[in-house]
Amino acid sequence: MERTRPIGDVLLQVDDISLSFGGVQALSGVSFDIRRHEIRAIIGPNGAGKSSMLNVINGFYHPQQGRITFKGQTRRRMRPHETSSQGIARTFQNIALFRGMSTLDNIMTGRLLKMHRNFLWQALWWGPAEREEIEHREHVERIIDFLEIQSIRKVPVGQLPYGLQKRVELGRALAAEPELLLLDEPMAGMNVEEKEDMCRFILDVNDEFGTTIALIEHDMGVVMDLSDRVVVLDYGRKIADGSPDAVRGDQKVIDAYLGVSH
C-alpha cells in the first residue's frame, strides 16, 4: 500500500504495565510501542486484556505498575480528560454516544476541547462566541462530509441504526483532531458492507489526516489487511509482536487462539 505519510518515530511507549482488579490480574508486564502514522492492531482471545490496555492508555484505569511515555514525555497518573487534551481520542466497544443529542451535537461535543470562549460570551451568543461556534461548525461539517452522514445531521443518535452510530462515534473522536486514535472493536456486529465502509474510513483517516491508530478487532481478515504491526495479548501477557504475516505464523498465537492448555 502506498502511504503519503511514512511511519515515523515512536509516539507512544508503554513499559511493563501491570493492572489488577482485586485478585484478577488483567495485565501483567505488557510493553509495546506505537509509531507515528501507523495502524497498530491489538488482538487476542476474549478476556486477554485488550480493552483494559486501551483504558490504561487513555487514563481511565490506572496501572499498579509500569510507565507510559507519550510524545517523548513519561506521563504521570492522568485522568481521562487530561489524556484527551494531550491528543488521545477513542471509540468504545459498546457504543458510548450521547443518546439524547443529535449527530451534529455529538460531533460538536468532540470539539469542546478546542473551544475556549468564556462563559459571558457564550451567555450573550454574540461576537467571538458566535464566530467560534461557526468556525468549529465548519470543521465538524467537513467530518460529516468525510463520513457521509450528512442526511442524519439533526437526528438524535438514539434513533440511528447500529452501523451509523458507530460511524458517528468515529466522527466524534475525529472532531478532537487526535494524534492517537484508539478504536475498540470498530467493526463489531457489522455486516460485510458496513465493515468495508468502516475499513475505508479508517484507512482514509490514517492517510489523509495522518492520525496514528491503535485498534482492537476480532476479524482477522480486517486486522491483516489494515494494520502495519500487530501485538497479541493472551491472559494479560504479550505473546507476540510484529508484522501481520509474522504474527500469523507464530506458534504461540496459534496456540492461544486454538486454546492449547498452559
Asked if 223 and 41 count as a contact pair (C-beta separation under 8 A), the reply is: yes
Residue 153 beta carbon to another protein: minimum distance, rounded to whole angstroms: 9
Residue 136 beta carbon to another protein: minimum distance, rounded to whole angstroms: 9
Residue 50 beta carbon to another protein: minimum distance, rounded to whole angstroms: 14
Q: Which is nearer to another protein, 76 or 262 (by Cβ)?
A: 76
Q: For residue 186, give the amino acid letter.
A: P
What are 36's three cell numbers?
A: 507515528
Residue 193 beta carbon to another protein: minimum distance, rounded to whole angstroms: 27
Residues that bind another protein (CB under 8 A): 55, 58, 60, 79-81, 84-85, 89-90, 92, 94, 96-101, 105, 108-110, 112-113, 115, 117, 119, 122-125, 129-130, 133-134, 137-138, 141, 172-173, 176
Neighbours of 255 (CB within 10 A): 14
Q: Which is nearer to another protein, 13 or 93 (by Cβ)?
A: 93
Q: Which is nearer to another protein, 84 or 227 (by Cβ)?
A: 84
CA gap 144, 168 in Å, rounded: 9
Angstrom CA distances, 34 to 69, 130, 212, 228, 248, stand at: 10, 39, 8, 10, 19
Q: How many residues does the chain have?
A: 262
Q: Which is nearer to another protein, 92 or 146 (by Cβ)?
A: 92
What are 63's three cell numbers?
A: 496501572
Q: Which is nearer to another protein, 1 or 134 (by Cβ)?
A: 134
DSSP string, 28-45: EEEEEEEETT-EEEEE-S
Residue 54 beta carbon to another protein: minimum distance, rounded to whole angstroms: 10
